[in-house]
Structure 1
Amino acid sequence: MARAKLQWQSKTILLLVFPFVGADVVLEAHWWATQMPLVAVWTLGLSALLGLVAFLVRSATAGAALAGAAITASLMFATVSFPYVPWKTGLVPVLVLLVITSLATRLGRKRKEKLGTAESKRGREPSQVAANLGVAALVSNGLALSWMVKQSWLPVAKVFPAAAFCVGLAALAEAAADTVSSELGQVLSGNPRMITTFRRAEPGVDGAISAGGTVAGIVAGGLVAASGAWVLDLGWRMFALSWIAGVFGLFFDSLLGATLEQRGWINNDAVNFLSTASAAGFALGLLALMPMRFL
């Protein structure tokens, strides 16, 4: 009943993410179709294909697959570079995230079903996709836009559009780290401990962490950060920055789970959205502190 009362939070996240993402995809697709049609064709085609695959393998419901395709297209448009190569965009880290989180969700499913923590066989819902991937799309497009129009209120975004994307990449790394740590922690470790008190807790309890799950999550976040840094030629500093920020978000997620979620103040979608936002914010702070010669 408490979770049902908090569904307004999931709906709010949907309203925060998808009007912007939908408008961005439509406007970007129209602009590229008139300037360089191949960008629009590849972006819309590959993002739609990724959404279809997610639906067919039951990683997402039809609505969630459509939402994921829209976010992927938005991230691809935000990371176009020249000479244009379709896979040298935000597509790759999203693809890596989808693969590793899908595998982690399926691993040890029987044990998770016994614990009552298994993901629905229908796949993730649109609100879950928005909560996990929405921040990456919002900040990547927002910072890229501020760079293009050279707004003085955010000097760090003037440096280089790809550097701005590492903020969104941090959010993607956190989403992967959180999902994998939660899913594999129930399989790789025994009783986890609460992040706030270090007391033993049952697997699946909000805010409980385990050594195995945490290590798996950190590795997953690193894979997503590395894939994004590699395809966009961000360099090892931007890779490290997005990975560190993603790990920060992973622990922030557990802290929110052990406090606000445990008390019934926020639901899991809100936790995930705020955690990816914390990773993006942490990355932006690190970017602002880095000497210009390192960017």
Structure 2
Amino acid sequence: MARPKLLWQSKTVLLLVFPFVGADIVLETRWWATQMPVVAVWTLSLSILLGLVAFKVRSATAGAALAGAAITASLMFGTVSFPYMPWRTGLVPMLVLLVMTSLATRAGRKRKEGLGTAESKRGRAASQVAANLGVAALVSNQFVQSWMIEQGLVHGRFAPTPVFILGMAALAEAAADTVSSELGQVLSGHPRMITTFRKAEPGTDGAISVGGTIAGIAAAGIVAAAGAWALNGGWPMLAMSWGAGVFGLFFDSLLGATLERHGWINNDAVNFLSTASAAGFALGFLAVMANR
């Protein structure tokens, strides 16, 4: 739970993400409805269905389910390719992420309840969804894609979908962070602080464990592989988004051990900045490769 005095940070994350995502969905729906209605129909239908499933299995509150559906729709619109197939869009990595994080959250629930670190039985809140998935939507829209092309960051070597590498990196980090945190409490004993390597209590901000870290790295790889397959991104997309996701995972722990432990930022801010760092890492790698 966010500290009461830092709730403004969670609200800020919501305001950064959803006005933009909402506008993107409206514009994209209007355009596709006139140009190729099947895209609009499949995108909205499947996004809403995914949100309803998340709510039904109590992975998300009603507000969070709506937020997740909106982000999914934005990602699907941003990854349309031809011939059009809805399972060849950002829907696939989002679905894989939802399944993995839901299972990880439920694993060892009794132990987590005893430690006081269990997720609410109502599921994640809208601010948590925005913090974990918002960056992926923000960097995968048509405006960012156009900017990347104009800046020469889209190299033919990474075709056909290099512009989604940033979004995939953010999704990979979100999966890695959640899975490592949830399974680390089950697979390992006392974690250690990433800054001092001293033992800490499970659930301590900035504490990492071998089991949790391995699980998180694996989760990032699975989401990256799902996205690379769905978008025909091949090994370049898999490698870059996976590596960037792992970078973001450790950056998340570093923020937790420093700024969050001092009470300067809350968990939603940590998650938002960590997914942004993963996207930034991928962008930096693309820039280096484009200048070779």
Fold shared by both chains (TM-score > 0.5): yes
> Residue 39 of structure 2 corresponds to which residue in structure 1?
39
1:2 Cα deviation after fit: 8.0
1:10–1:127 CA contact under 8 A, matched in 2: yes
1:132–1:272 CA contact under 8 A, matched in 2: yes
Residues 90-169 of structure 1: pairs in structure 2 closer than 5 A: 90-141=90-141, 142-146=143-147, 151=150, 154-157=151-154, 162-169=161-168
Instruction: Give SS of 1:155's match.
Output: coil
Give every structure 1 segment of 4 or more consecutive aligned residues whose post-TM-superposition deviation is greater than 3 Å.
157-161
> Residue 219 of structure 2 corresponds to which residue in structure 1?
220
CA distance in 1, matches of 2:161, 2:70: 20
Instruction: Give SS of 1:122's match.
Output: coil
CA distance in 2, matches of 1:143, 1:168: 11
Letter in 1 for 2:153: V
CA distance in 2, matches of 1:292, 1:80: 27
Residues 245-284 of structure 1: pairs in structure 2 closer than 5 A: 245-284=244-283
Matched residue count: 289
> Residue 16 of structure 1 corresponds to which residue in structure 2?
16
Ranges in structure 1 where 5+ consecutive residues have no aligned partner: none
CA distance in 2, matches of 1:270, 1:183: 19
Q: 1:237 to 1:158 in 2, by over 3 A?
A: closer
2:259–2:265 CA contact under 8 A, matched in 1: yes
2:217–2:246 CA contact under 8 A, matched in 1: yes
CA distance in 2, matches of 1:22, 1:291: 32
2:2–2:266 CA contact under 8 A, matched in 1: no
> Residue 231 of structure 2 corresponds to which residue in structure 1?
232
CA distance in 2, matches of 1:155, 1:264: 40
1:289 Cα deviation after fit: 1.3
Ranges in structure 2 where 5+ consecutive residues have no aligned partner: none
CA RMSD of aligned residues (A): 1.5
Letter in 1 for 2:50: L
TM-score by length of 2: 0.96
Letter in 1 for 2:248: G
Cα deviation code 1:18-55 (max 9, x no counterpart): 00000000110010000000000000000000000000
Instruction: Give SS of 2:139's match.
Output: helix
Letter in 2 for 1:134: G
Letter in 2 for 1:264: G
Cα deviation code 1:181-239 (max 9, x no counterpart): 00000000000000000000000000000000000000000000000001111010121
> Residue 242 of structure 1 corresponds to which residue in structure 2?
241
Instruction: Give SS of 1:87's match.
Output: helix
CA distance in 2, matches of 1:161, 1:144: 13
> Residue 56 of structure 1 corresponds to which residue in structure 2?
56
